[in-house]
């Protein structure tokens, strides 16, 4: 008799939805996320990069952090988080 398994058809724990995203509405200039927190915040606050406002810029930074995953260095992650904080203060 053949042995059957009852596995769920859910995606693997390591599969991330963010890797499947292939389109985006705006394109930040190349190398935007490699600068300092102040430079990143300044760029993401511009109307041509974030036409829907600063909240859109914050979401793009968070998306970049998610895309980086475990491969993002701790120092780069901290700099990106700092850029988010700068934009959040500017939003209020």
Identify the pLDDT of residue 51: 86
Domain assignments of the chain as residue spans, ordered by start: 31-91
- What is d(CA 60, CA 74) in angstroms, rounded to the nearest whole number? 19
Identify the pLDDT of residue 28: 86
Identify the pLDDT of residue 64: 92
Residue with tokens 């901290």: 78
Largest Cα separation within the chain, whole Å, is: 67
User: Taking the CA of residue 60 as centre, how many other CA atoms within 13 Å lie in the half-sphere pointing to its CB?
Assistant: 26
Identify the pLDDT of residue 43: 94
Identify the pLDDT of residue 79: 96
Report which DSSP code applies to 31: T
- What is d(CA 37, CA 40) in angstroms, rounded to the nearest whole number? 5
Identify the pLDDT of residue 91: 81
Q: What is the pLDDT along the chain (92 residues), one digit of tens a residue?
A: 555 555 556 555 666 666 665 555 667 888 999 999 999 999 999 998 888 889 999 999 999 999 898 899 999 999 999 999 999 999 87
């Amino acid at each position: 008799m053949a042995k059957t398994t009852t596995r769920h058809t859910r995606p693997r724990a390591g599969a991330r939805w963010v890797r499947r995203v292939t389109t985006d509405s705006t394109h930040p200039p190349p190398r935007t996320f490699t600068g300092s927190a102040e430079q990143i915040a300044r760029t993401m606050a511009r109307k041509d990069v974030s036409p829907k406002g600063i909240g859109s810029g914050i979401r793009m930074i968070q998306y970049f952090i998610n895309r980086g995953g475990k491969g993002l260095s701790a120092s780069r992650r901290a700099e990106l988080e700092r850029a988010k904080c700068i934009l959040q203060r500017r939003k209020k």
